[in-house]
């Protein structure tokens, strides 16, 4: 009888660990697909606009990524929208 109790406990622990890992992966995916808007301060937005006007799009995208944690695609779309 104790074998089944121990086996049940081990299965429950394994399920808990797998659920925890899946939740972490879901949060990472949400960050990647842009489930949150890019938020920059007014000064940061102005800096991005200046870089864009100077035809320094790559630097603008890099700046947006560094400040917001956005993906490459999200940052490029943000810069293009300004």
- pTM for the model: 0.58
Residues sharing a CB contact under 8 Å with residue 44, sequence separation 6 or more, in sequence order: 63, 67
Q: Is the Cβ–Cβ distance between 78 and 66 less than 8 Å?
A: no
Domain residue ranges in the chain:
1-36, 38-82
Q: pLDDT tens digits, residue range 44-74?
A: 999 999 999 999 999 999 999 999 988 899 8
Residue 80 has pLDDT above 80, yes or no: yes
């Amino acid at each position: 009888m104790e074998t089944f109790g121990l086996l049940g406990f081990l299965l429950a622990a394994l399920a808990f660990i797998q659920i925890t890992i899946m939740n972490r992966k879901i949060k990472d995916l949400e960050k990647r697909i842009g489930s949150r808007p890019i938020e920059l301060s007014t000064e940061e937005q102005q800096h991005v606009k200046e870089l864009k006007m100077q035809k320094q799009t790559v630097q603008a995208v890099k700046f947006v990524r560094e400040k917001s944690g956005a993906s490459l695609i999200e940052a490029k779309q943000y810069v293009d929208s300004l």
